[in-house]
Structure 1
Amino acid sequence: MRAAYAIAADPTDPRSALRVADLPETSPPEGWVTVDVRAGSLNQHDLWSLRGVGLRADRLPMILGCDAAGVDQDGNEVVVYPVVADETDPRGLSLLSERFPGTLAERVSVPPENLVPKPEGLSFVDAACLPTAWLTAFHMLTTRGRVEQASAVLVQGAGGGVATAAVVLAVAMGKRVYATSRDASKRERIAALGATAVEPGARLPERVEVVIESVGAPTFEHSMKCSAPGARIVVCGATGGHLATVDLRRLFAMRLELLGSTMGTGPELAALLDFLVEKDVRPVIDSTYGFSAIADAFARLESGEIFGKVAIDFLH
């Protein structure tokens, strides 16, 4: 079975730990079902796995990947929800590719409840971009951020998968969206998505009720200053640094909520799929690679130049 997998952990050169080759198939846990993968996509999680973060040495080699869409054993077109129960993990759960084999292979096995029907209106490639980054953004906006109560949203560091998804989703939800990026060309692309693109730290024309924060230390003070009374600052990552300074006076005086957020639920993934079809919205895809070019796809992801998702089309 063709697969992309980690053979080691390399904190400084993660792609040196990547292999794309045939692996023998293992027997899935009892009751699990197998999906023939048609498309997948990459996430920063895959690079962190190659660095050895969240992936124990005794579980190597490990097939990478959290995202996939394909065809199940009964011929149904499905999207794979990548979170599985895991009693060995302190969280009580793990993502595919942490304990159980991931999605960057010709076949992947999951519990049957982890399969969500793929709507006819979404291609396999589009659907495979959704289970991690887009689901994370959807959960941040709806469940954690309570965006239905908001008029305006700030997204920090747009360009990557989660932040770009948050921009597109918030615009589709009818919100006024502001998004920051250090890159002038990315700000142009953000504006084309319907948001007001600004430089990091720029003064906004209004305070916002929801902030989508994945950058961390470099932008956190700006996130707090841009927040309206009672605003929700929803944090899913800290790509720029995890030791952010929090002005507690502003926190209590403005009655701000700081909310951590990770992934989303299976029903939320189904709701996201329905929302995209209803609104005729499709994920922003930076580039698409065939399976034989997965190494190039990882290089593109690691470059930091992406705008949207890096997708893998297993049929090419």
Structure 2
Amino acid sequence: MFAVYAKEPNADDPLSSLVVGERPDPEVPEGWVRVSVRAASLNMHDIWTLRGVGIKPDQFPMILGCDGAGVLDDGSEVVLHSVINDPAWRGEETLDPKRTLLTEKYQGTFADSVVVPARNVLPKPAGLSFAEAATMGTAWLTAYRMLFVKSGLRPGQTMLVQGASGGVSTALVQLGRAAGFRVWVTGRTEEKRALAESLGAHATFEPGARLPERVDAVFETVGKATWSHSLKSLKPGGIVVVSGSTSGPDPSADLQRVFFLQLRVVGSTMGTRDELADLLSYVDLKGIRPQIGAEMPMTEAKQGFADMLAGNTAGKIVFTR
């Protein structure tokens, strides 16, 4: 079958390991289902996989793609939940120490078809296209959990999103505006700040800028480049919710500020199947449509990867079949 895959890990030149070609058709174990992929969205996780992060060398070649939407053999239209748990695990899926994402142990969604446990598919809302639904399982689920499960924010309070144009960031802006928060965003360029405002941000600022006032919560996916600004932007007792560190970790945690102002730092990883179901219902009820910055055939995946690696994003990059 057609697939976009990583042939081997390459930390220094990840795109050189990217192959658009053919892979064997997957077998369907008992309790699993085959999904004919209609659309799948690109995530930074796919770049990390090309670099060999979070995956053992002997697991290559690996079909890329953490999330997607498609059709079951019986014709049902579905959205994928990409967190796959150990069969013996009972409890909240994201706390399973043996959990894995598609592309870490099991083959991913950038292919004609993908095989997942039956519980990892959810009905696709009729109001979402396959391309829109393909953005939900990773970036939008991460944003939903950060905002509604982890932050403790109430409507009317002020949130700051660090970074204006990535998949999680644009989802946070759209979800936050719909939920009644005052949404502020930082962005490196005028174009990125304008995008955030078009999605509902009430105000945008250059990175590191002094804000008009301190905020109730900061949503952090950047890491070292923005961490100091995130802590300085919080009100006493405020919270920073962290789901990534694309610029690397910050070895200077500024603990004196954390304890003196009683700040809270909370980690957030992906989301549960039930949270994905709630997210799908929420966007359907609110009529929210995710920001797709680029939609292209899966055969042109190399361009999408190059754009993400260069930071040329304006929302989610989606590949279609």
User: Which residue in the other structure is 2:172 paired with?
Assistant: 166
Partner amino acid, structure 2, of 1:249: Q
The equivalences for 1:38-187 within 5 A come to 38-86=38-86, 91-148=97-154, 151-187=157-193
**1:127-155 CA-partner distances (Å, limit 9, x unpaired):** 00111111101111111112236611000
Whole-angstrom distance in 1 between the partners of 2:319 and 2:293: 11
Paired position in structure 2 for 1:24: 24
Unpaired stretches in structure 2, ≥5 consecutive residues: 88-94
Structure 1 alignment gaps of length 5 or more: none
Determine whether 1:251 maps to 2:258.
yes
How far does the alpha carbon of each residue in 1:5-51 deviate from its partner, in whole angstroms, 9 at most, with x for none? 11111112111111111211232332111111111110011111011
Whether 1:5 aligns to 2:12 is no
- Matches of 2:47 and 2:156, distance apart in 1: 34
**What residue is the counterpart of 1:300 in the other structure?**
307
State the one-letter code of the partner of 2:304. Answer: A
Tell me how far 1:190 sits from its aligned partner. 1.2
TM-score, normalised via structure 2 length: 0.94
Rounded Cα–Cα distance in structure 1 between residues aligned with 2:107 and 2:199: 35
1:220 and 1:244 in contact (8 A); partners too: no
Give the distance between the partners of 1:98 and 1:150, measured in 2 at CA: 39
Aligned residues: 314
2 CA distance for matches of 1:244 and 1:158? Answer: 24
Q: How many percent of aligned residue pairs carry the same amino acid?
A: 47
- Tell me the C-alpha RMSD between the 2 structures: 1.7
How many Å separate the matches in 2 of 1:248 and 1:99?
Answer: 36
> Is the contact made by 2:78 and 2:122 (CA closer than 8 Å) also made in structure 1?
yes
Q: Distance in 1 between matches of 2:251 and 2:317?
A: 29
Change (3 A) 1:119 1:283: same
Report the Cα distance in structure 1 between the residues aligned to 2:300 and 2:255, rounded to whole angstroms.
Answer: 48
Distance 1:90 1:52 in 2: 22
Deviation at 1:75, TM superposition (A): 1.3
Runs of 4+ in 1 over 6 A off after TM superposition: none
Residue 17 of structure 2 aligns to which amino acid in structure 1? A
CA distance in 1, matches of 2:121, 2:100: 16
Amino acid at match of 1:311: V
Determine helix, strand or coil for the equivalent of 1:147.
Answer: coil
| Corresponding residue for residue 35 of structure 2 | 35
